[in-house]
Chain A
């Protein structure tokens, strides 16, 4: 018996114990179980088989079969399998058992399912995560009978800003001091020491999933997916395209997969250079910031040269890519990469050896490995805490199985480790682009004609600069029936509570930035009167991390 059939047998045995049915479709193992066995199976998968909990998806399948469904998505990274643990819930009154007591990483996605689809979770405390507090409790926008352009009557309610009376409250937000992205953290401090953290997010939830399911076609969603994130947009559109291609079993030309991988690595380069610049700026080393961004500009020009735009490249389609890389472009890329590698090496060596920078980065914002595993953090945050995981190597997609590269892993878990992971990855990316350009095969760059049958399921993980993006697609008529997106920051924010606690106040901006967050949202203010008293805007409780 081969190794992979042994692994499959392991999952079949697990399913048999709980009377669940198993189907294997390519690299995805679909387990369909009764709701009451969900926590037990999830416990086995997460704690015994060491699978990673990526996210969960609630779907309104009432138009198809009269039920709601809940799917927990796991990945078995050591063997390269996707595991989808699905259960059907009552169509009238959907109730599911919560799995957060065994899988703490599922906390946010369960609450998102409760808000958007209206699934109630038993055995846990419920709070509102995604929907604005003014929305009525019975409005669930991802149900199929909810029109995408409907706006419910909004009740004017406030939210209590501070919940902690003993410690002083310091708001960080509504904009991050350096990242210029909306977020709101509330730091509770005693003297200079942070004792607890509260995060409130999702204030500008854009309803992208609903839009993709309601009024866009398969090809149009690529461009919408690219706009999920301003930094790692191409990862999202690739992930969506790969998920649909996997669902429809399309055989995409090799050349298209190579071009996708090359552009993905170029995006990683620009993202890591940006983050390093921001980190230097945050510790007050602005010269390093300026020079890092000076050499980043070369990458931005390169991506415009290859795709037609500095960001939002717009070259992905289901079935291939829109722009080819010819010989002239190839030599230009190689030339830019060699100057970039030289200049980056010079600057990073100088910048990291500045004693002030070194001191600020070392030993701050520590995330221990056991917390990292429990919260299923992603990307450089996981790799800096000693978790050896990279979707490019473990769950190969696009053209990554044709290149060799190292996955940098550090065990310290502090801000320096996270910076070093990113520095190492820059060199790996440069070498990967060289290998890919060297091996790129000839042929067409996209499929001309294909069909996407309805009712198929595709799950895909793509390693973005900040961690794994997860896209889950159920195909429908001309457009996705259900499209679920999870960005890596979604799993990384809960880890900030661990990283910020018992740390000096002054390191908080750097530590928050060290996960390279992509807050898609937040707006909140603290109004301070003339007498210095904080007026509290009251809303029903925020999220305690």
Chain B
């Protein structure tokens, strides 16, 4: 047995360290450490409740709109304000713009470049992978044509938030009562033009077919038929590479999936449903948010006097950097004491998308199905955005005024690209008296809990084969890289 410490990982958001125990070339145990702590929950204490709208987005530069939405929802829950339909559409548009961009960035800049690593140099597809997906810095190759095109398309895409929210990251336009920016008819047309540009990019480059053909794929057989039609597209190449490198078996998750529901509807509910999916039972379950807790046994924080995992409305954030047995700044979130996975794969499973349900039934929640779910979600999000834009009513309100109460509490649950994001707050004497955040990667990259149960990534890494040739040089196992990045982790959110 040998022990490896891996990190820093790049092409993930923030800093990440993974400790592995390896026997006969396979991982037998993993511990995941989020090595950076800033203390946003402490920073928010004592502030005017509305200050959360300026402070919370700055938890994360890659999903700042999601953080804004969670804060605004918690404040709306506290004040009881009702967002008018225009405001809801505008917030959904900004949230979808960001989530979509994250999937695009993840695929082209974070995940696919791993196929251009030296370990794959002898593979027949290597040159093509380099031509399309070579990393954009530090490599001498002139490749990465598709990644560069995606980066340019992404910059243009964010003009949507430029108009709707003034700037990205860190807009202040998302408010408990709606948005601060009313959209005029002509602006709506301009925004639609941006969305259509992205549609053209996806249909020419990523999918090679109409979005709707991808969005409505309903079985593995249909996926294979589509793949033949769309040969040459980046998603078809991903399917080829996934087959060649057996991503279908790599990095299985816990088999329980959580989604808070994405894109709220005025009439109630969400465009992508809320709930829990149990893959073993092949069954959806309702979500009970009172069952959420954060266990701090192996995190560098003081524990509750009862040593029980606390619900976020009672949660604690007291750094204890010398605590014995702790190895991460991340607490261990649990749902009814169980480990769950969150992200696009969870949203699609909970929402009942048939291809993703079939793929998970056949292969489990692995590197392959996580990436597939993200690609499929992109094809589903963009047409929704077209609908929201067309539903905007010129000169109807985007915002409802409502003062914050002196005493209240509120919960804001939303979906970031990486999954379930929740804010829990209490207001006392007109000030924030309590604030707790549980981010998507807090779930996925949690440390062990008091019962010793490893988090989702910790378990997913077990069984991964290390490349013998490079194990000695710091264990740069490409399998580990694939597994880690398949979650699209965001470490700055995780610890906040």
A binds B: no
Q: A: which residues have CB within 8 A of B?
A: none
